[in-house]
């Protein structure tokens, strides 16, 4: 790995007691490794072959991400990694990663903006052939600051909605110079991460932060997309009475047919005990709603940004506000009702005081997609525009144009198959007759 030219040194050089940090981080990583069986299978089966691959990563540097980084390194890659958010880095995990012979970690918690970006630059200095992003900071900075390196990049992967959105904007401007997989959009991520991962962890965080239960509570879920479905389903499974608000008539009807009460937020505001926003939109709960709420309600957000609950309006309305528990801010309204906002309206399962992020099994699936997408890029690579030779379909390898690409369905299914295998689950295969039948609708008529 090339030596970084900037002032940012690897984390091990910056900690007072790197050895203790490594040990602590190692313990965290081991736990995650033990509960991420898909990545384990990819390591064990030797499916990945990454010699001559240099991977640059900008992600939340905590235990689960570390398992991905180690998986890539153990497949032969040189990995340089840094954080994608200064507050999400666990220094001990970063130190443990940095101790790996093929991993250099620049991630450190709570650094200033300049250091944050210099750490990204340090990753770029490793001259990655593949980039792995969570939010897009790495891919943008390469394009902006180090265009001379673009030719040597086979492609990259993006983990989040936000990053994919930014990439699509870049692509629309013809600015994106290499292929990027929209890992965020795969069924394996969308179905499991959103429905089960966010659903369960949002409610567990709310329960543990407040010492309250859900049985018999009116839980108002705003938005009935994948996340909203997950929250509603899990709340129902804890014997809450679920109320759904929506702006889409078909989704509203789906929620109604599921047996939930569906109404406007104005109606729900007056009867809800717990509110969870999942819409991805702004101003879902606003002043006119706050004013109707009962004393003691809980307001939480499970959407990406802290814009769904209008906290500015709430602050304006309130006659007093104070932190009543770690992670819970109470706003007292003029007539007495006290509304409790969890995790400052940020993602309640990630930003709460007890939060550990998504469950390990869920990240196992997302990160396994990352790993096979990196393999796809290394095996097939990009097409045109970047001068990589030998990547052609005549050898059975797929190539990708510069731009944003859906993850090929067979890769998504491959990860599903590995997951089933790790669970010891066998399923049926189509017989030749069945395959033929499906392809030939004459049978049916």
For 379, the token pair is 């095996």
**Rounded Cα distance, 12 and 10, in Å:** 6
Output phi, psi for 44, to 5 deg.
-70, -35
Q: Are 59 and 134 in contact (CB under 8 A)?
A: yes
Q: Which is nearer to its own copies, 136 or 179 (CB)?
A: 136
**Nearest C-alpha neighbor of 159 from the set 34, 331, 304:** 304
- Minimal distance in Å, beta carbon 320 to its own copies? 12
Nearest-approach distance from CB 84 to its own copies, in angstroms: 12
The answer for residues whose C-beta is within 8 angstroms of residue 47's C-beta and 6 or more apart is 41, 372, 375
Q: How far is the CB of 421 from its own copies (least distance, A)?
A: 9
Report which of 129, 78, 77, 138 is spatially closest to residue 107, judged by C-alpha positions.
138
Nearer to its own copies, 125 or 193 (CB): 193
β-sheet bridge partners, residue 155:
130
Least distance between its own copies and beta carbon 86 (Å): 16
Residue 336 or 387 having the CB closest to its own copies = 336
Asked whether the beta carbons of 221 and 251 are under 8 A apart, the reply is: no
How long a stretch of residues is the chain? 445
CB-wise, 238 or 344, nearer to its own copies? Answer: 238
Nearest-approach distance from CB 23 to its own copies, in angstroms = 11
Residues 97 and 324: their CA atoms lie apart, in Å, by 37
Count of C-beta atoms within a 10 Å radius of residue 56: 28
16 burial (CB, 10 Å; 0-12 / 13-18 / 19+) is: exposed
**Structure-token pair, residue 42:** 């990819």
Task: Pick between residue 49 and residue 296 the one whose CB is nearest to its own copies.
Answer: 296
Shortest CB 256 distance to its own copies, Å: 5
* Residue whose entry in the numeric block shows the structure tokens 């109707």: 292
> Is the CB of 55 or the CB of 244 nearer to its own copies?
244
2 or 305: CB nearest its own copies: 305
Which strands form 274-277's sheet, in the order they lie side by side?
261-262, 241-245, 218-222, 274-277, 298-301, 338-342, 328-332, 320-325
Residue whose CB is less far from its own copies, 4 or 25: 25
For the bound state, the minimum distance from the C-beta of residue 161 to its own copies, rounded and expressed in Å, comes to 8
- The answer to whether residues 107 and 120 touch, using CB atoms and an 8 Å cutoff, is no
Q: Output the six-digit token pair for 130.
A: 């593949």
Q: Shortest Cβ distance from residue 150 to its own copies (Å)? A: 21
CB of 168 to its own copies, least distance (A): 8
> In whole angstroms, how close is the CB of 323 to its own copies at the nearest point?
8
Cα→Cα distances 339→132, 201, 237, 314, 398, Å: 40, 22, 25, 9, 54
- DSSP letter at 152 equals G
The tokens describing 373, both together, are: 């997408």
- The CB-of-15 to its own copies minimum distance in angstroms stands at 21
- Give 7 or 253: the residue with its C-beta nearer to its own copies: 253
What one-character-per-residue DSSP string does 55-69 give?
EEEES--SHHHHHHH
**In terms of CB distance, is 102 or 358 closer to its own copies?**
358
Q: Which is closer to its own copies, CB of 7 or CB of 172?
A: 172
Torsion of CA 439, 440, 444, 445, to 10 degrees: 140
């Amino acid at each position: 790995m090339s030596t970084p030219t900037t002032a940012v040194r690897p984390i091990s050089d910056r900690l007072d007691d790197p050895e203790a940090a490594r040990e602590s981080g190692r313990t965290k990583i081991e736990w995650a490794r033990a509960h991420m069986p898909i990545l384990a299978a990819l390591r064990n089966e030797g499916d990945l072959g990454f010699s001559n691959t240099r991977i640059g990563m900008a992600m939340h540097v905590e235990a689960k991400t570390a398992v991905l980084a180690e998986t890539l390194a153990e497949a032969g890659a040189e990995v340089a990694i840094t954080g994608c958010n200064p507050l999400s880095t666990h220094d001990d995990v970063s130190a443990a990663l940095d101790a790996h012979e093929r991993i250099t970690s620049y991630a450190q918690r709570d650094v200033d903006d300049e250091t944050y970006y210099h750490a990204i630059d340090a990753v770029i200095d490793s001259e990655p052939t593949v980039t792995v992003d969570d939010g897009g900071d790495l891919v943008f900075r390469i394009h902006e600051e180090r265009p001379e390196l673009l030719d040597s990049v086979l492609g990259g992967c993006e983990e989040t909605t936000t990053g994919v959105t930014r990439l699509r904007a870049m692509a629309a401007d013809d600015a994106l110079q290499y292929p990027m997989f929209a890992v965020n959009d795969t069924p394996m991520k969308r179905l499991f991460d959103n429905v089960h991962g966010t659903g369960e962890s949002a409610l567990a965080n709310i329960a543990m932060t407040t010492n309250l239960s859900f049985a018999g509570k009116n839980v108002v879920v705003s938005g009935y997309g994948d996340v909203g479905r997950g929250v509603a389903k899990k709340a129902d499974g804890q014997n809450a009475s679920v109320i759904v608000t929506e702006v889409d008539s078909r989704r509203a009807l789906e929620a109604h047919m599921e047996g939930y009460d569906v109404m406007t937020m104005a109606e729900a505001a007056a009867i809800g005990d717990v509110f969870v926003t999942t819409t991805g939109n702004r101003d879902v709960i606003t002043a006119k709603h706050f004013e109707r709420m009962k004393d003691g309600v809980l307001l939480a957000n499970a959407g990406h940004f802290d814009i769904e609950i209008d906290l500015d309006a709430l602050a304006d309305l309130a006659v007093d506000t104070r932190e009543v528990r770690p992670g819970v801010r109470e706003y007292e309204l003029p007539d007495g009702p006290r509304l409790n906002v969890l995790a400052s309206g940020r993602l309640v399962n990630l930003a709460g005081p007890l939060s550990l992020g998504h469950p390990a099994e869920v990240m196992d699936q997302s990160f396994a997609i990352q790993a096979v997408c990196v393999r796809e890029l290394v095996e097939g690579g990009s097409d045109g525009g970047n001068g990589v030779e030998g990547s052609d379909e005549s050898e059975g390898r797929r190539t990708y144009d510069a731009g944003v690409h859906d993850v090929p369905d067979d890769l998504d299914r491959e990860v599903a198959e590995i997951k089933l295998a790790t669970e010891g689950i066998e399923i049926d295969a189509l017989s030749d007759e069945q395959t033929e039948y499906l392809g030939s609708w004459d049978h049916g008529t």
